[in-house]
Structure 1
């Protein structure tokens, strides 16, 4: 986990042509996307994408965990927190078999010291790492995208990190964030950030926002762990 310094970040949405600035407190963020090995170790179940990747379900090497829904992501955060004796960040409903998937019933205990998903503002602040351009370096040097990935997923850490030591912030797999995308229009859809191995270069930029239903499982979507820093 890398300690990300606090600061301000300005987010933007091309669809609505809206911009907004968010103050971000210092927090901790994983240097890499969650790997299949880490997922299998905590859940004691095969990673959903392990068969298609040709990996042993018990380790998965250093390939990113993918084909995980937002629900899978928050449940993993809670499971890892309990394993390490930390307070889980999320209070979840007992079932998601409701008309809206039960997403409105999820609450985040911001005082908890357990693992969680980054907020969208935290994600972009960490991705930029003090840079101001669309990316923190030349795309082929920092990201697996459609132009250099051979249209397949790659092990984490294979490209150059950003100035704060964070790898694969762009490309390889999209990463779930905590935030709802636009509730009045898209309801319970959650934010995804970062671009993936099958995306064209224009999707692999620090400012690009994507949305999806929290039950979606697709092969270019994963997650990155965050933790709140306690005073």
Structure 2
């Protein structure tokens, strides 16, 4: 298949998702309005077109961009918004590790982790939206390398690579009281065991963290 991740956003229906934290054994429901989410992780081709640089360890236009920090992802969202004459979602102050999200903006942004999990599940309730080898690149089938986007079966809402290939940055702080500015990562990556490639698995890292199995996909809010 020929993927066009730079242009395709899927409208995700409203709904409710229940998030859970293994450390605290706490679960909480989140109500979500409809929003739009990219069908694919951002590719290297799209990233270099917008950001002007190619930070990834492995090179390939249709590979997911990796080696990007949370700050890089947020800056990309703003740059793409300006490129398309949309209102940037983020007011960024990296020197002070501060960011504000303008929820009224129509520009691109990172999904919240509730939006990410709701979209990943696509109406399913199990650990995954399909058989793992059919939907995800993980340590057991990836030959320990990253793969081009869209190479596995999408979920019922037309979203590819929600599990496996690269972890994806989300907007949220993981647990500000315990971990400070650490942000949420979701989805599992090409080097992860099967256990990590599940809809509910949460990972955290500092917003400046960069590694070869972490990327992101973009979202947009719909007018209220």
Q: TM-score range by the shorter chain?
A: over 0.9
Counterpart for residue 17 of structure 1: 25
| Deviation at residue 14 of structure 1 after TM alignment | 1.0
Structure 2 residue aligned with 1:173: 166
Structure 2 unaligned segments of length 5 or more: list them: 1-8
Quote the residue 2:211 is aligned against: 218
1:81-230 → structure 2 map (5 Å cutoff): 81-93=81-93, 95-96=94-95, 102-103=96-97, 105-230=98-223
Counterpart in the other structure of 1:99: none
Quick one: distance in 1 between partners of 2:197 and 2:150? 16
Query: Structure 2 CA distance, aligned partners of 1:216 and 1:182?
Result: 17
Residue 4 of structure 2: aligned partner: none
Match of 2:42 among 14, 34, 49: 34
TM-score (norm 2): 0.95
CA distance in 1 between partners of 2:85 and 2:55 (Å) = 26
Question: Would you say how many aligned residue pairs link Structure 1 and Structure 2?
Answer: 216
CA distance in 1, matches of 2:42, 2:50: 12
Structural mapping, 1:50-65, within 5 Å: 52-53=57-58, 55=59, 60-65=60-65
Tell me the TM-score normalized by structure 1.
Answer: 0.92
Q: Distance in 1 between matches of 2:33 and 2:101?
A: 16
Which deviations, in whole Å up to 9, do the C-alpha atoms of 1:16-58 show, x marking residues without a partner? 111000001100000000000000001122x111xx32x3xxx
Report the alpha carbon displacement of residue 227 of structure 1 after superposing the two structures with TM: 0.2
RMSD of aligned Cα (Å): 0.8
**Stretches of 4+ moved more than 2 A in 1?**
none
